Structure 1
Amino acid sequence: MRHLEGTPRSQTLLLPPSVEDYVPEDHPVRVIDAFVDSLNLSEMGFRKAQTAHTGLRPYHPGDLLKLYIYAYLNQTSSTRRLEKECHRNLEVLWLMKQLAPDFKTIADFRKDNGDAVKKVCRQFIIFCKQAGLVSGQLVAIDGSKFKAAASKDQAVTRKQLEKQLGKLDQKIDRYLAQLAASEQGGDSDLNSDKVSEALAYLEAHKAELQDELKTLVDEDKTQHCRTEPDARLMKSGREGMVVGYNAQNAVDEEHQLIVHHELTQAGNDNQQLKPIAQEARDVLEGELETIVADAGYSNGQQISDLQSSEYDVAVPSNRAVNNQGAGGHFQKSDFTYLPEEDAYRCPAGELLPHKTVSNKDRMHLYARSGCNQCPLQSQCTKADRRWVSRHFDEEALDRADDSATPERMIRRMATVEPTFATLKRLLNKGRFTCWGLGSASSEYSLGVLSYNLMRAINVLGVKGILARLA
C-alpha cells in the first residue's frame, strides 16, 4: 500500500537541532518578537520590568507581552490553554525561548499592566505612521457593546428591586394570613414550623434587597451588577440589553488601523466624540484632518469645540421630527431663521419671536400664538401655539450635518465597523473573560494591538516590518 507514513517515534532527532529553526524566516511570530524587543518597557510602566536584587527572579514582562499578542492573534485567551501551549507549541517555544510560566503568572500580567499595554498600542501606531500606513486624512469614530464576564442575571435596576420587594411583601402577607387563620381555626394540617422557616427566609431576602436599593439611592445610581460592579446594563442593537462595556474606536481610513481606543461605561456615544478625537489627534501628532461619526455622536458643544480647532467634522444631526398628523406636518426645516431679528418665519409668513431658554437642553425656544386663525394650521399644529427650538450650537450642528454626505457615511461604515467584527472574533465572540473595567480594558487593548499588528503584516509583509524594526 502507498499510504503516507509518519516519522518513526524512535528516531533520534525529531526536531531541528536549533530552536531558531522552529519557525521560518517569514513567520508573523518574528514580527511580535522584534516589535516587543524594540520597546522600552520600563518607561511604559510595566510591572517587574526593573527587578530587585533579592527574591525569586520574575519573568520579563516582554516575554509575557509576546505570549499575549500571539494568543490574541490566534484567538486563544485562556491562560490555562496558554500554559499548555508553552510546552507543546513550537511557535510559542520559539517565541518564549522555551520559558513556561504558569497560568496564574500569565493572568496576573494581563490584570496588572492595562495602562502599559495601551501605551504599547500607541507606540505601534507611531511606528505605523513612520512606515506610511497612517495618514490622518479621515478618521472614523464608532462604538460597540462588548459583554462583560458577569451574567446578565446579576444586573438589577431600581425598578426591578422595587418590583421584587412588592412581590416579597405579598408573599409575606399571604404566609402571615395563613398562620393567623390556622391559629384561629385550629388547622392541624398546616406545619407552622415550616411556615415560620419560610417567613424567616423571605424576611432575610427582603432585608438584602432593601439594603441593595438603599445603596443605589444613596449613590444616585439606577442600576447595579452584583458580581461585576463596573459593568453596566446597556442597549446593544439586535441583542437587546446586555451587561457590558461600550468600546470606542478611532480608525484611520488609509489601512483601517485603530489609532485610538477606549473602553467606557457610557450607555451611549453622545459624550464620546471630543475626547476620542483629541486622543486620536495626539497619537497622530496633530495630523488629523477629517473626523467622521454617526448620528449617535451628535453633540453640539463638542462639535463646536472641534470645529474651532479647525477640524472638518462630519456628523449627521440627531434631531426630533414633528410626528403629528402622521408625519405630514411642517418640520423645522420649513421655518426660516432670521438672525437679525433672532426669530423664525413660518411657512405662512408669520414671525415666531424668541420666548425662552432651556439651559438643560441647551436650546433657544421660539413661538407665536394665534395659530387657530392660520389657514395652514392643519399642516402645522393642533394647538394655538407652534414652538420651534434652536440649539445653542445650531450653526456647528448644521455644518457637521452638511459635511456628513452619503459618500462620507459609506466610507465611515467601511472604515470603522469591520474593526469591531474582527475584534469580537478575536475576543471570545465579543465577551470579556476578565472581570472589572481595568482588566477588561487591558484585554481589549491586547485585542486592538493584535488586530493592528495583523493589519500591518497584511500590508507590509513580515520581512517589510522586520526591515523597518531593524
Structure 2
Amino acid sequence: MARYKPVDQHLSKLLPVSFAEQIVPGTFEYALNWLVDHEIDLTVFDARYCNDEVGAAAYHPGVLLKIVLFGYARGLTSSRDIERACRENVVFMALSGDTQPHFTTIASFVAKLPDEITSVFRNVLLVCDEQGLIGKALFAVDGCKLPSNASRSLSGTRADMAKKIEKIDRAIAHMLDTHRRQDAGQNTDTLTQREQQQIETLTRNSNKLREWLATHPEKTNRKGEPLKSNITDNDSATMKTSHGVVQGYTGVAAVDAKAQVIVQASAFGIGQENGLLPEVLQALRSDFSAIGSADPLADATVLTDSGYHSEATLQRLADDQVDALIADTGFRSRDPRFAEAWQHKPIEKQRQPGEHRSKWFGRADFIYDANRQTCICPNGKQLKLKTVNIVIRGRRGVGFEGTRAMCQACSLKAKCMRKPDVSPCRQITFFDGSKVKETHPQTKAMKARIDTREGRLLYSRRLGIVEPVFGNLHTKGLRRFTLRSRRKVDAQWKLFAIVHNVEKLRGKAP
C-alpha cells in the first residue's frame, strides 16, 4: 500500500523577511528604487498636499510612484490589483515599506499624475542620457491605436446624437402607448417593474444626450467638417485599427536607435497620424531642452512610416530644418525587392501590382483610346467627351461623362457610381502624365531620396528600432488605456514609457 507524507494545513510558521534583501541589484525593482530615491525630483508632488500644519500624514509620493510603476511593469494597471499586491507580494512590500496604501489612494494618485508625470519622465530621460544610452543620431517615430475607457456607442456628430434622441423618444412613446392600449378600461396601473425600469433608463439616456448637446460645441476638422464626438470622453476619437474600429487614443513614441530608449511619448485623440509628427518632434526638443541637453535633431535623422506622410508635414519639417526619411504609400510598390510580395499574402488578399480590385469600377475597367479620345464604359456604352484639357490638382487630363438617361437605366449603376442618387451620371478622367505645376515638391523630393540605395538601407532600420519597443509594452499588458481625457491618457502612456526606460537602466544603478 502506498505511503504518503502527512500534510497539516493548520500549522503556523514565522518567516523572517528583510525587505532590503528583496530588492536585488540588477533587477528592475532595484533600478526603480534607486531612481526614485536618488534621481527623480519628488518635490513636484508637494504642491498637491496641504497637511503641513493640520490633517493626517500622507503616503510618500515616492512610495506611490514605485508601486504604480512596478505594477505597470508586472501588467497590473488596476489600483485594486496593486493594493492586493502590496499585501501579498514581498517585492511590492519592500518597495512600499509595507505601508499598503488603499486602492482609492492609488487611484487618486494616478488620476492627478498628469501635472507631474512630464517632470518624472524627463528625470529618467536625463539619467539615460548621462549613462550614454541615447545616441542622438537616429530616431524612429511610430504609434499604436488603443481603445480607452469610453463607449463607442456614445459617439457621433451632433446630427447623429439628435437622431438618437428622437429614436429613444419614439421608443418611450411606443412603450407607453402599448401600455395604454393594454390597460384600456382598467383603473389599475399594470405597467410592470421591468417596463418601468426600461422607460426610466431610456429617459435618463435621452436627458443625458440633451444636456451634452447643450453644453458642448461641434467638433470639426481643419476643413470645418463635423467630426464625431464622444459623451463619455470627448477627447477620444473613433479610429480604425487592425482589430476593428475602436474608441480611443493614438500613443506616439519617438525611440532612439542606440539603446531603444523612448525619448518622447505623447497620446493624441486623433485617428489620422499624418499631422502629428511636427508636434511630437517639438515636444522632443522641449524635453531635451528641459534637461539641459542640446537640440537632439540638429545632427539626427527621423524615420517614420507612411502614416505620417503628407505634403504639409514634409514642408513643416523642411522649414524646421529637420532631416527626416518618411515613406509614402507607394514606397513598396516602387521597390523591386517587393515585386512578388503579393504572392505571400492570403489568397483572398492577393493582388498583383497594377491589378484593380474594388467594389466600384475604376479606370482599369474603362476602355480609353488616347488617339481617338474615346471611352467605353464597362457596360459597353460610349461616354461623351467632356473636355480635352482638364486640370485636377495640377495634373492635366481628358474628361468623359455619361448621360443621365444612359447611367440611371444601367444595370451596373450600383458598381459604377458610389452615390447614384446624388450624381446623375458617371464621370471619369484619364491623365496624360503631364503637370501644369508641381503641387507636391516636398513629396517628390522625398520619393527621390528614399528610392535610392542609401535611402532604402537607412529606412529599413526603422522596423528594428521602434517595433520591439511596442512589443515590450504589449508584454506589459498594455492593451487599452484605462483613464479618460487626453491629459490623463497621456500621463498613462508616459508611465509605460518610463517603465520601458527604467528597464534600460537595469544594472546601471550603483
**Where in structure 2 are the equivalents of 1:364-403 lying within 5 Å?**
365-367=394-396, 383=429, 394-403=440-449
The separation in 2 between residues aligned to 1:11 and 1:209, in whole angstroms, is: 59
1:273 deviation in Å? 1.0
Per-residue CA deviation, residues 344-389 of structure 1 (Å, 9 max, x unaligned), is xxxxxxx989x79xxxxxxx625367999xxxxxxxx965886867
| CA apart distance, 1:442 | 2.0
- Residues 254 and 264, structure 2, Cα contact 8 Å, conserved in 1: yes
Q: Return the alpha-carbon distance in structure 2 between the equivalents of residues 384 and 432 of structure 1.
A: 47
Partner of residue 226, structure 1: 231
The 1-side partners of 2:94 and 2:113 are apart by 24
Q: Which residue type is aligned with residue 239 of structure 1?
A: H
Matching residue's letter, 1:114: P
- State the alpha-carbon separation in 2 of the partners of residues 19 and 383 from structure 1: 75
1:64 alignment partner in structure 2: 64
Corresponding residue for residue 447 of structure 1? 496
Task: Note if 1:287 corresponds to 2:296.
Answer: yes
What is the Cα deviation at residue 163 of structure 1?
5.2
Deviations 1:203-258 (A, max 9, x none): 8876765665676665655323233333222111x222101111111111122211
Structure 1: how far apart are the matches of 2:431 and 2:27? Answer: 72
Say which is worse superposed, 161-170 or 36-45, in terms of deviation: 161-170
Residues 86 and 264 (structure 1 numbering): CA distance in 2 closer, same or farther, change over 3 Å? same
Q: Does 1:21 align with 2:21?
A: yes
Question: 1:246/1:8 Cα in 2 relative to 1: closer, same or farther (>3 Å)?
Answer: same
Tell me whether 1:413 sits opposite 2:463 in the alignment. yes
Please report how far the alpha carbon of residue 263 of structure 1 lies from its aligned counterpart in structure 2 after TM superposition.
Answer: 0.7
Letter in structure 1 aligned against 2:265: H
Which residue identity is paired with 1:416?
A: V
Secondary structure at the residue paired with 1:34? helix
**Closer, same or farther: CA 394–219 of 1 in aligned 2, 3 Å:** closer
Indicate whether 1:466 and 2:509 are aligned: yes
Q: Of the candidates 311, 315, 323, which is equivalent to residue 326 of structure 2? A: 315
Quick one: structure 1 residues 53 and 231, their matched pair in 2 at CA, closer, same or farther if it must change by over 3 Å? same
> Given the alignment, which residue of 273, 277, 281 partners 2:281?
277
Note if contact 2:31-2:505 (Cα within 8 Å) is conserved in structure 1: no
Q: Secondary structure at the match of 1:466?
A: coil
Contact 2:218 2:227 in 1 (8 A): no
Q: 1:160 to 1:422 in 2, by over 3 A?
A: farther
Identity of aligned residues (%): 21
TM-score, structure 2 as length reference: 0.67
Q: What is the rounded CA distance, in whole Å, between the counterparts of 1:192 and 1:391 in structure 2? A: 76
Aligned pairs for 1:3-402 within 5 A:
10=12, 14-16=15-17, 18-39=18-39, 41-42=41-42, 44=44, 47-48=47-48, 52-158=52-158, 160-161=160-161, 164=164, 218=218, 221-236=226-241, 238-284=242-288, 285-288=294-297, 289-318=300-329, 324-326=363-365, 365-367=394-396, 383=429, 394-402=440-448
Q: Aligned AA for 1:324?
A: R
Please give the secondary structure, in 1, of the residue aligned with 2:509.
helix
Distance change (3 Å), C-alpha of 1:167 and 1:153: closer
Unaligned runs of 5+ in 1: 331-350, 357-363, 373-380
CA contact (8 A) 1:304 1:396 kept: yes
Other structure's SS at 2:116 match: helix
Post-superposition shift, 1:102?
1.4
Q: Name the SS of the counterpart of 2:248 in structure 1.
A: strand
Counterpart CA distance in 1 for 2:175 and 2:287 is 65
SS at match of 1:129: helix
Higher helix share: 1
After superposition, the Cα gap between the structure-2 partners of 1:352 and 1:140, relative to the gap in structure 1 and judged at 3 Å, is farther
Find the counterpart in structure 2 of residue 360 from structure 1.
none
Deviation at 1:198, TM superposition (A): 12
| Residues 253, 265 of structure 2: 8 Å contact kept | yes
> Aligned-residue CA RMSD in angstroms?
4.6
- In structure 2, what is the Cα distance between the partners aligned to 1:135 and 1:303? 24
SS in 1 for 2:484: coil
* TM-score w.r.t. length of structure 1: 0.73
Alpha carbons of structure 1 residues 391 and 450: separation in structure 2 relative to 1, 3 Å: farther
In structure 1, what is the Cα distance between the partners aligned to 2:437 and 2:329?
Answer: 12
- Give the direction of change, closer, same or farther, for the CA distance of 1:174–1:83 in structure 2 (3 Å limit): closer
Counterpart CA distance in 2 for 1:393 and 1:140 is 28
Which range is displaced more, 20-29 or 131-140? 20-29
Give the Cα–Cα distance (whole angstroms) in 1 for the partners of residues 248 and 449 of structure 2. Answer: 33
Shift of 1:413: 1.9
Alignment CA distance shift 1:93-1:45 (3 Å): closer
What's the CA shift string for 1:141-186, capped at 9, x where partnerless?
1111111122333334456446546656876897899899x8xxxx
Distance of 1:304 and 1:417 partners within structure 2: 27
Give, in whole Å, the separation in 2 of the partners of 1:466 and 1:199.
60
Greater displacement, 317-326 / 132-141: 317-326
212-221 vs 294-303, greater mean Cα deviation: 212-221
Cα-to-partner distance string for 1:319-357 (whole Å, 9 max, x where unaligned):
799952259999xxxxxxxxxxxxxxxxxxxx989x79x
Which ranges in structure 2 are unaligned for 5 or more consecutive residues? 221-225, 289-293, 332-353, 357-361, 370-387, 402-426
The amino acid of 1:466's aligned partner reads: A
Alignment size in residue pairs? 418
Structure 2 CA distance for partners of 1:5 and 1:392, relative to 1, 3 Å:
farther
Correspondence for 1:423: 473
Residue identity in the other structure for 1:231? S
Query: Partners in 2 of 1:276 and 1:160 — Cα distance?
Result: 33
Give the distance between the partners of 1:60 and 1:198, measured in 2 at CA.
46
